[in-house]
């Protein structure tokens, strides 16, 4: 992954990246380390990937295993991360689960699980990180949201609801925690990650053709947005949601629709 921008102020910063062993979280963890930050790489089951990344950055990267689907797991995650890093300056919350399910098929346990992992974890992680964040007025929280949380998504209503709640939480915390800690969101559209790849193999071409940018997003597209929000280059951005979707939420002009239909 090639990261062009350099943010010198990220050197030495201490960041916890959840979901840091795969997909967007892994890309963020790698990029922060390349910028000179110290990173606690959270994983749930993919321990080998987290340890492999840590081995490439001895003394600056530390694997942290935890189940964020429980309050206790979130408490442990922040405690272990802050101990390994000797403090905490930034939280990038990328860990999430995603699956298809029409409303008629969603069970209570499924709904509860996706909210625990995707939304409740954000409450617990910020609560636990708060005593560390904001010291010196430079605390930073970045949630990885989704365009599904902004416009909804058929057959994924449970997932979309968790991301919509995450966006509302971010706006609330942005006011509550400012000015010592900034809170923002990055909302990707379709991105080629291990989680999305199975479905992209069947609908990827159609999705790309419908986007103004004519391609599905890559992990580095999201990483660039996260690095910008993590840096003081974005110091006046508070409570913002950066949509990284290739224009997926734009209204397509009628002429373009007619041309495609023709």
Q: Give Cα separations from 188 to 18, 148, 160, 184, 245 (angstroms).
A: 16, 9, 12, 13, 5
What are the residue ranges in the chain where pLDDT is below 70? 1-4, 196, 200, 203-204, 251-262
| Edge-to-edge strand list for the sheet holding 38-43 | 61-65, 38-43, 14-18, 90-93, 139-144, 181-188, 241-244
Confidence (pLDDT) at 125: 98
Catalytic residue among 7, 124, 159, 228: 159
pLDDT of 28-71, one tens digit each? 999 999 999 999 999 999 999 999 999 999 999 999 999 999 99
Active site (annotated) includes residue 43 = no
Confidence (pLDDT) at 1: 66
Q: What is the DSSP letter of 139?
A: E
Q: Which domains are seen in the chain, by residue range? A: 8-261 (3.40.50.720)
pLDDT of 8-35, one tens digit each? 999 999 999 999 999 999 999 999 999 9
pTM value is 0.91
CB burial of residue 229 (10 Å; 0-12, 13-18, 19+): buried
Q: Report the SS3 class of residue 133.
A: coil
Confidence (pLDDT) at 254: 44
| In contact, 16 and 64? CB cutoff 8 Å | yes
Confidence (pLDDT) at 207: 73
């Amino acid at each position: 992954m090639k990261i062009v921008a350099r943010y010198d102020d990220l050197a030495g910063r201490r960041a916890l990246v959840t979901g840091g062993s795969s997909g967007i979280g892994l890309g963020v963890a790698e990029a922060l380390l390349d910028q000179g930050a110290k990173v606690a790489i959270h994983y749930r089951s993919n321990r080998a990937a987290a340890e492999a990344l840590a081995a490439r950055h001895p003394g600056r990267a530390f694997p942290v295993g935890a189940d964020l689907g429980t309050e206790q797991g979130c408490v442990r995650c922040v405690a272990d991360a802050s101990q390994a890093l000797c403090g905490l300056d930034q939280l990038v919350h990328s860990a999430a689960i995603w699956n298809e399910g029409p409303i008629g098929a969603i069970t209570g346990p499924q709904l509860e699980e996706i909210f625990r992992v995707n939304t409740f974890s954000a409450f617990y992680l910020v609560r636990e990180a708060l005593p560390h964040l904001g010291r010196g007025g430079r605390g930073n929280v970045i949630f990885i949201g989704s365009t599904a949380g902004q416009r909804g998504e058929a057959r994924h209503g449970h997932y979309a609801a968790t991301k919509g709640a995450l966006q509302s939480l971010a706006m609330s915390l942005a006011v509550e925690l400012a000015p010592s800690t900034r809170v923002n969101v990055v909302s990707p559209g379709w991105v080629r990650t291990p989680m999305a790849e199975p479905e992209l193999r069947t609908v990827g071409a159609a999705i790309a053709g419908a986007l103004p940018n004519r391609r599905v997003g890559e992990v580095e597209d999201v990483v660039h947005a996260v690095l910008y929000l993590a840096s003081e280059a974005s110091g006046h951005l508070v409570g913002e949601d950066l949509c990284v979707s290739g224009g997926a939420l734009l209204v397509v002009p009628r002429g373009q629709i007619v041309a495609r239909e023709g």
